[in-house]
A and B are shown apart, each in its own frame.
Chain A
Amino acid sequence: MAGTAQPDGGTRPVIQLTRVVKRYTMGSNEVLAMRGVDLTVMPGEMIAIIGASGSGKSTMMNIIGCLDIPTDGTYVLDGVPVNGLSRDQLADLRNQKLGFVFQGFNLLARTTAIDNVELPLLYDRSHRWTDPREMAVAALTRVGLGERMDHEPSELSGGQQQRVAIARAIVTQPTLLLADEPTGNLDSQTTVDVMALFQALNAQGITIMIVTHELEVAQYAKRIVEMRDGRIIRDTPVVDRHDAAADLARLKDTQPVEAVA
């Protein structure tokens, strides 16, 4: 089940950033979005990246997500050095090793849940999968949407859409699940609901990185990394880790009218 199992027993880091610098030129201005960041994430971790806007957390997310490459320093993803890879190689790496969950769900409109989830498997070039359809069904069942596979995004609630997006992210059994503000568009109960799903998936062995600006959400992770001005200013384990499933049960008790979920 766990896509993160390593032959060497999981001692190889999933993410290894070494003195990563990212420099942009916006017009005539030069922006230093990352000023030498070191970060190591081991398999099985659930890490939250927090920070205000402009802190460089989105830039780091893009680099870790292989959507962008560092100006300086090195990034090794699950043993693969990302520096110097071509556009196509980056695309293949995203397909094979990463799963993305975005703030706006980013599902294809007028496309059924099952077709959305199957999509990453269709872009696979390693031919690892024998039956994409079956895997998509399994992923949707895993996020609790086995009953709504033929629904289009417009027929699903926000929480359900985000579950479809999570199913799409885990369907390729990625080494790392990257979530960029996954609860940004959700109400508080759905937020807890989605976080419960992340915690459950993490318990099954999937390494998860969540970028968020809500400290509440970060409390569900095992480790919090805080960024400011392109540098990591705090990297601590979560002492008082929240249990989303328990929180959800408590929320449902206090709110007799169930939110549209």
Chain B
Amino acid sequence: MKKTTLFKVASQSIIKNKLRTMLTMLGIVIGVGAVIIMVAIGNGAQSQIEAQIGSLGTNMIVITAGSSAQGGASQGAGTFNRLTLADADKIKAGTTLLSAVSPVLVTRTQVIGGDGNWRTQVNGVSTDYLTIRNWAVSSGELFTDDDVRTKRKVVVLGKTVADNLFPNGNAVGASVQLGRSPFVVSGVLDAKGQSAMGSDQDDVVLVPYTTAQDRLSGWRFVSQILGSTNSTAVIPAAIQEITLLMREAHQLNGGNVPDDFTVRDQTAIAAAATSTTSVMTGLLAAIASISLLVGGIGIMNIMLVSVTERTREIGIRMAIGARGSDVLTQFLIESIVMSVLGGVIGLLVGIGGAQLLGKLTGWAIATPWSAVMIAVGFSAAVGVFFGYYPARKAASMNPIQALRYE
């Protein structure tokens, strides 16, 4: 039998039983629709959370000094501080994967100016710092590379500091005193809120690292070097690259000399958060899949009834020359057409329903194309899987008994 003829024969019997076909398809429509809506909700939540984590600076790599040991007792990370500005320069010059590098010199001091004074953390950083931290200036601007080179005394205030010193909001251009030196406020940072550890990330001021070294700390050592890549994918390679550059800078020759620094990334945090949401998405999809399964069983049920009901028809077809495979294909196509049709309708219902739900509840909704493909493919698979047994039953009938069936 030709393929077009097969489809004709199958669609004929589908059309002949409109109500039954529609009820059978309803199971698949609901199943596929539910899967699409659930995945859309889960995916929306996931992308929302990913965006939030991205704002923490997921591509950030932190280089800290290594540990030292005194008489065999390790003093813990950072106790042997040998990170220098030269290291930062070396990384900046030698890297191929990092898009931004900034040393961080940390000190605490009293900031005096405006309406009062405030003790806060001073970070001496380069102009890359805001890129790395995924941070922005809300008013005014960050100091420039030129400011860094010339060690100008400019400062960018964190939101908390600005609010405390300049409650009226006219901080930009004002003069403040850090320690004993006068600084000009060039900008105020966006609010960033609490860190994961609960500390206020806005309680900070940023100054050029050169100025910080000269005027505030006077240290030769750098507490951290931060770097960031353009994509999360290259982070492992970037870490390797930094390690090599650092070992070279610190002249750690020979494989058995341990690193005197540590390189870390944020992927662990990001991975934990995304895996939570993907577990949630998976769970939602799994629950929704159950309805797809029930829909499939509905198809099998109807096909079994249909095969019994049409025993005589099968007998006639066989008597006039239909092979078992012809009958098998006919019934299989019937169930596949029903389930794929149901799948496509369910897809439209699912996408529409997800959009509607997003509008009504304000949840983030994202229908991934992969879910669409999987849902339609899966409904076709349901048709084959649950249609096969009834079709086999039809195909293996004895024509004599089928013809005699009342």
- A76, B1: Cα distance in complex, Å: 27
Q: Is the CB of A106 within 8 A of B400?
A: no
Collect the chain A residues with CB atoms within 8 Å of residue B16's CB.
Answer: 109-111
Q: Is the CB of A123 within 8 A of B322?
A: yes
- A214, B120: Cα distance in complex, Å: 114
Q: Is the CB of B320 within 8 A of A94?
A: yes
- A226, B313: Cα distance in complex, Å: 31
**Chain B residue at minimum C-beta to C-beta distance from A110:** B16
Chain A nearest Cβ from B334, distance in angstroms: 14
Contact A67-B319, Cβ < 8 Å, known A62-B400, A106-B403, A108-B313: yes
Q: Is the CB of B318 within 8 A of A122?
A: no
Chain A nearest Cβ from B273, distance in angstroms: 58
List residues of A (73-109) whose CB comes within 8 Å of B's CBs: 87-88, 91-92, 94-96, 100, 102, 106-109
Contact A94-B319, Cβ < 8 Å, known A106-B403, A111-B12, A123-B1: yes
Contact A122-B5, Cβ < 8 Å, known A106-B403, A110-B16: yes
Chain B nearest Cβ from A121, distance in angstroms: 9
Contacting A106 at CB < 8 Å: which of B9, B316, B322?
A: B316
Bitwise, B9-50 to A at CB < 8 A (1) or not (0) is: 100100010000000000000000000000000000000000
Q: Is the CB of B321 within 8 A of A95?
A: yes
List residues of B (235-251) whose CB comes within 8 Å of A's CBs: none
Among listed B176-184, B211-219, B323-331, B346-354, interface-contacting one: B323-331
Residue B90 interfacial (CB < 8 Å):
no
Collect the chain A residues with CB atoms within 8 Å of residue B322's CB.
Answer: 91, 95, 123
**Chain A residue at minimum C-beta to C-beta distance from B401:** A67
**Chain A residue at minimum C-beta to C-beta distance from B316:** A106
Q: Is the CB of B321 within 8 A of A123?
A: yes
Q: Is the CB of B323 within 8 A of A120?
A: no
Collect the chain A residues with CB atoms within 8 Å of residue B1's CB.
Answer: 122-123
For the A-B complex, the count of residue pairs with Cβ-Cβ distances under 8 Å equals 64
Q: Is the CB of A123 within 8 A of B316?
A: no
Collect the chain B residues with CB atoms within 8 Å of residue A122's CB.
Answer: 1-2, 5, 9
Q: Is the CB of B312 within 8 A of A88?
A: no
- A107, B312: Cα distance in complex, Å: 9
Q: Is the CB of B320 within 8 A of A87?
A: no
Chain A nearest Cβ from B131, distance in angstroms: 70
What is the total number of residues of chain A having a CB less than 8 Å from a CB of chain B? 27
**Chain B residue at minimum C-beta to C-beta distance from A115:** B12
Collect the chain B residues with CB atoms within 8 Å of residue A91's CB.
Answer: 318, 321-324, 326
Contact A119-B317, Cβ < 8 Å, known A88-B323, A106-B312, A110-B16: yes
- A38, B316: Cα distance in complex, Å: 28
Contacting B325 at CB < 8 Å: which of A62, A88, A96, A110?
A: A88
Interface centre among B5, B12, B321 (most CB of A within 10 A): B321
Q: Is the CB of B324 within 8 A of A88?
A: yes
Collect the chain B residues with CB atoms within 8 Å of residue A96's CB.
Answer: 321
Q: Is the CB of A65 within 8 A of B319?
A: yes
- A91, B398: Cα distance in complex, Å: 12
Q: Is the CB of B316 within 8 A of A108?
A: yes
Collect the chain A residues with CB atoms within 8 Å of residue B321's CB.
Answer: 91-92, 94-96, 120, 123-124, 172
**Chain A residue at minimum C-beta to C-beta distance from B402:** A67
Residue A168 interfacial (CB < 8 Å):
yes
Collect the chain B residues with CB atoms within 8 Å of residue A88's CB.
Answer: 323-325
Residue B399 interfacial (CB < 8 Å):
yes
Chain B nearest Cβ from A156, distance in angstroms: 16
- A91, B397: Cα distance in complex, Å: 13
Collect the chain A residues with CB atoms within 8 Å of residue B2's CB.
Answer: 122
Residue A68 interfacial (CB < 8 Å):
yes
Chain B nearest Cβ from A94, distance in angstroms: 5
Chain B nearest Cβ from A95, distance in angstroms: 2
Interface centre among B319, B323, B325, B400 (most CB of A within 10 A): B319
Q: Is the CB of A92 within 8 A of B323?
A: yes
- Report 19 cross-chain contacts, Cβ distance below 8 Å, ordered by A residue: A65-B319, A67-B319, A67-B400, A68-B400, A91-B318, A91-B323, A92-B323, A95-B320, A95-B322, A100-B320, A102-B319, A106-B319, A115-B12, A119-B320, A120-B320, A122-B1, A122-B5, A123-B326, A168-B320
Interface residues of B (CB under 8 A from A): 1-2, 5, 9, 12, 16, 312-313, 315-326, 399-400, 403
Q: Give 6 nearest A-B pairs by CB, closest first.
A: A95-B321, A120-B320, A123-B321, A91-B323, A110-B16, A88-B323
A-B contacts besides A108-B316, A172-B321, 15 pairs, CB < 8 Å: A62-B400, A91-B326, A92-B321, A92-B323, A94-B320, A95-B321, A96-B321, A102-B319, A106-B319, A107-B316, A108-B313, A109-B313, A119-B317, A120-B320, A122-B2
